Amino acid sequence: MTLTIVALSDTHSLHGQLAIPDGDILLHAGDITRQGDIADVVEFNAFLGTLPHRHKVVIAGNHDFCFERLPNRCRQLLTNAIYLEDESVTLEGIKIYGSPWQPWFHDWAFNLARGEPLRRKWALIPPDTDILITHGPPLGHGDRTTLNEVVGCADLLEAVQRLRPRYHLFGHIHEAYGVTRNEHTTFINASSCTFKYTATNPPIVFDYGL
């Protein structure tokens, strides 16, 4: 059996400009809003309701302040998707874990200091995770900025190398959109917006064989 997974991230309320391919599971790796407004969540949820995918899974990102400040209210508003925040869901035999945290980035949402604070979050990832969704990238995969700096999380990379999920989906660094691989894991930076915040990067689609 094979399932079609559609991956996107960093839509920043520009989701209506994207052509969303059909598939079985839609995954969104955070930054659904522009500045974390509740109204953006309501509009995004309505958009999700128009899509045909059987399952939709969403995490928050550093722009999504409302999910950090008003988590219960935002969960209630997101009726057309499963919201994950340091938790798992199993869909059609695939265990998916989602976490919104990233190394400290200005004064945005879901920031943690590098080192022990982030290591504690990554230690929560179950060892049998098939697809890992984080907002920020691991070190060395989809994390190179326009200034040619690699800004991913080294402790996240260590966790991925130890746990070996089949796929690791993220965004955050818009300009590093694309796919890389190592021996065990496919890394997907699915940022829909470019560095200049134009929603021109298409969702990344892949088949997941069970």
pLDDT in tens, 122-170: 999 999 999 999 999 999 999 999 999 999 999 999 999 999 999 999 9
Percent of the chain predicted with pLDDT > 70? 100
Taking a C-beta distance cutoff of 8 angstroms, is the pair 61, 37 a contact?
Answer: no
What is the spatial distance between Cα 197 and Cα 112, in angstroms, rounded to a whole number?
Answer: 24
* Domain with 23 in it: 2-209
Identify the pLDDT of residue 164: 98
Identify the pLDDT of residue 57: 98
What is the spatial distance between Cα 61 and Cα 59, in angstroms, rounded to a whole number?
Answer: 7
Binned at pLDDT 50, 70 and 90, residue 105 comes out as confident
Q: Is-above-0.95 flag for pTM?
A: yes
Identify the pLDDT of residue 209: 93
* Sequential DSSP letters for 69-130: HSHHHHHHH-TTSEE-SSEEEEETTEEEEEE--EE--TT-SSEE-TTHHHHHHHTTS-TT-S
Taking a C-beta distance cutoff of 8 angstroms, is the pair 118, 127 a contact?
Answer: no
Domain with 59 in it: what CATH number? Answer: 3.60.21.10
Q: Taking all residues of the chain, what is their mean pLDDT, rounded to a whole number? A: 97
Taking a C-beta distance cutoff of 8 angstroms, is the pair 99, 134 a contact?
Answer: yes
Residue 36: pLDDT over 90: yes
| Domain count of the fold of the chain | 1
Token code pair at residue 49: 């309701």
- Identify the helix (H) or strand (E) that includes residue 163: helix 154-163
Strand 2-8 vs strand 204-209: parallel, antiparallel, or unpaired? Answer: antiparallel
